[in-house]
Amino acid sequence: MAQIEVLLEGQLLSVGNQEIISSGDISYDTCRFFFDDTWDGFTKTGVFYQDRKDVQYAVLEADGSCMIPARAMAREGNMYIGVFGVSGSKVVTSTVERIYIRQGAISGDTVSTEPSDDVFLAIIAQYQRIIELMRQYEETAAAFNDRMEEQNGILGTLNAFDVTEVMQRLDLIEDRMISYVNVAKEIMERDFIIRDVPIRFIERTCRVEDDRITDGSLCEVFFDEYSYEIAARALILPVSHGGYIEVTSSLDIGEELNANILVRRG
Helix axes 117-156, 163-190, angle to 10 degrees: 170
Residue 16 in contact with residue 7, Cβ under 8 Å?
yes
Q: In whole angstroms, what is the distance from residue 131 CA to residue 44 CA?
A: 12
Residue 47 in contact with residue 93, Cβ under 8 Å?
no
pLDDT for the residue numbered 177: 62
- Write out the DSSP string of 73-113: GSSSEEEEEEEEEEETTEEEE---EEEEEBPPSS--TT---
Residue of 241 and 145 predicted with greater confidence: 241
Q: In whole angstroms, what is the distance from residue 133 CA to residue 129 CA?
A: 6
Residue of 148 and 155 predicted with greater confidence: 148
Helices (H), the chain: 117-156, 163-190, 225-231
Residue (of 40, 32, 127, 128) closest to 92 by Cα position: 40
The pTM score is 0.45
Q: How many CB atoms lie within 10 A of CB 120?
A: 19
Q: What is the mean pLDDT of residues 209-215?
A: 89
pLDDT for the residue numbered 19: 79
Reported as a single tens digit per residue, the pLDDT across 149-200 is: 665 565 555 444 445 555 555 566 566 666 666 666 665 566 788 888 999 9
pLDDT for the residue numbered 116: 45
Residue 79 in contact with residue 50, Cβ under 8 Å?
yes
The radius of gyration of the chain from alpha carbons, rounded to an integer in Å, stands at: 25
Q: In whole angstroms, what is the distance from residue 37 CA to residue 20 CA?
A: 30
From residue 227, alpha-carbon distances to 95, 232, 245 in Å are: 33, 8, 19
Q: Average pLDDT over the chain, rounded to whole?
A: 78
Reported as a single tens digit per residue, the pLDDT across 53-92 is: 788 888 888 889 998 888 888 888 899 999 988 877 678 8
Three-class DSSP category at 202? strand
User: Most confidently modeled of 57-66, 219-228, 250-259?
Assistant: 250-259
The model's confidence at residue 143, banded by pLDDT at 50, 70 and 90, is low
Residue 236 in contact with residue 249, Cβ under 8 Å?
yes
Please, which residues bridge with residue 78 across strands? 100
